[in-house]
Amino acid sequence: MATEVGERAAALLEANGLAPTGTVFWDLSTEVLYEHAINNGSARLAHGGALAVTTGVHTGRSPKDKFIVKEPGSEARVAWGAINQSIDPEHAAKLGADLRAHLNAVPQLYVLNARVGADPTHGIILRLVSESAWHALFTKSLFIDLTDEERASLAAPDGVILHAPSFGADPAVHKTRQGNFVVMNLSAGEILIGGTEYAGEIKKSAFTLMNDRLPLEGVLPMHCSANVGPNGDVAVFFGLSGTGKTTLSTDSTRPLIGDDEHGWSDQGVFNFEGGCYAKVIGLSAQAEPEIYATTRMFGTVLENVVMDPDTRIIDLDDDSLTENTRGAYPLESVPNAVPEKRAGQPTNIVMLTCDAFGVLPPVAKLSPEQAMQMFLAGYTAKVAGTEIGVTEPQATFSSCFGAPFLPQPPKVYAALLKDRIEHYGVDVWLINTGWTGGGAGVGNRMPIKVSRAVVRGAVSGELADAATRTDPIFGFAVPVAIEGVEPSLLDPKSTWPDPAAYDETATKLAADIVANAEKAGQ
């Protein structure tokens, strides 16, 4: 790893419109980035070796402050609206010029070049230019290291993120909503991020860029985790935050391809990333041993995890800073990760939902038509207390299990998925990691050992030919018996004290799923 200082470093950034006057640090090692982050006071060393940081007022993404430049190269294919808000090229250019002036004037800049996408044909090389050492470390942990040959021959990256947490936009001048912003120019591959320290904006901006580019190449981008069995059988796990996507795909018996973002090409499934960004609130050494171990490991960045200032011992149960505590760590920190970060064609797809109404069975097999419906609907539920104003379970629908990151209409991604399911004969499973016996506050959360049992049965092929019943409301094929699972759990209505209340709740949810799928598919 080289440190570039002075005129040569400035020249290397001319293509990105930068002429820095301070010191430029170029592709630093993890160890050196640790030193910089600690020495400049933006991070602290936690017990076990992780780097602990806080992100201030912004402890999550700010979807209302993300904009896409409405420019001729991408305008016709973007699904403009509340998710993909537009900003005109003139205001984006003014914001970019002011952000560049800010970066040019800071005393230190950190440049990190990395690959997004393990497939050599469909991946891109992305450059982060940031005023923050720990954000450079986050990017190094999350994306894929370049080889020495790639780094030596790199003339210009395929995309660039200009990142300045201490620079705030002026809404009156730049036409943003407030001081924090993410502005993306899809054709130029340029991403501007400012006014927020939350590192997830870096990760998801890169994901959004890939979600725009890959369909143009006939490749399906997916908000999913993926692992592979002993016989090379690949399983893909779709799911929104809180459904168990990372936890259930991290399995000691099935090497992990990745926990969050993948592409599905004619060659198989490949990870976009070289690391994981796991939600760590309430992690248990017993239930999630592999992920738990990374929170006490060198190379992990812990965001907003409460730590004792004297002992430096972290408390994963403390949500006083945010419920959205996160750990970013290299994929190699997981003992059985796939080094290549890619594998063959999937044999099983798992769609995870946290049903806070308690009406879905723990597992059901979906027909191709039902799979498309659930994919377009992207159903899960919010639970009381997770957001201000949420006092009872609320259905949440996010098309393709990742609507905030889809520049193009959901039907584009759904068509690609349907084609692959049919072409490769993939089995699709719906798995409820939420409640049974009633909704949240009344029923009980599905035990994680039950969720693991049904996932293992589904992805191993054990349930492929299991005897099933047809759910009278949802129409799913539900196994009537699974080893290690209490039979009553497979019939959620039988767990409710009031069968009529179950029917009313389930009927409403089924109608909502259909309506949202139809809307997304237009």
Residues acting as catalytic residues: 61, 204, 223, 241, 245-246, 260, 326
CB proximity list for 110: less than 8 A, separation 6 or greater: 24, 25, 28, 33, 36, 128, 129, 130, 131, 132, 133, 135, 136
Cα(205)–Cα(202) distance, integer angstroms:
5
Residues 473, 493 contacting (CB under 8 angstroms): no
**Token pair recorded at residue 216:** 């143009």
Cα(506)–Cα(510) distance, integer angstroms:
6
**Token pair recorded at residue 348:** 């099983």
Strands (DSSP E) along 294-337, which ranges?
Answer: 301-303, 306-307, 314-315, 326-330
Cα(157)–Cα(499) distance, integer angstroms:
59
CB proximity list for 419: less than 8 A, separation 6 or greater: none
Number of neighbouring beta carbons within 10 Å of residue 404 = 15
Which helix (H) or strand (E) is 419 found in, with range?
helix 410-424
The length of the chain in residues reads 522
Which residues, listed in sequence order, are joined to residue 411 by a DSSP beta bridge?
none
Quickly list DSSP for 459-474. Answer: HHTTTTT--EEE-TTT
Which one, of 184, 179, 150, lies nearest residue 66 by Cα? 184
Cα(243)–Cα(431) distance, integer angstroms:
9
Would you tell me the crossing angle of helices 133-142 and 200-213 to the nearest 10 degrees? 40
Residues 93, 188 contacting (CB under 8 angstroms): no
Would you tell me the crossing angle of helices 499-520 and 410-424 to the nearest 10 degrees? 100
Quickly list DSSP for 52-91. Answer: EE--TT--S--GGGEEEE--TTTTTTS-BTTTBEEE-HHH
Cα(456)–Cα(230) distance, integer angstroms:
13
What does each C-alpha distance from 458 to 78, 236, 320, 487 come to in angstroms?
36, 11, 37, 16
Cα(37)–Cα(47) distance, integer angstroms:
16
Residues 235, 352 contacting (CB under 8 angstroms): no
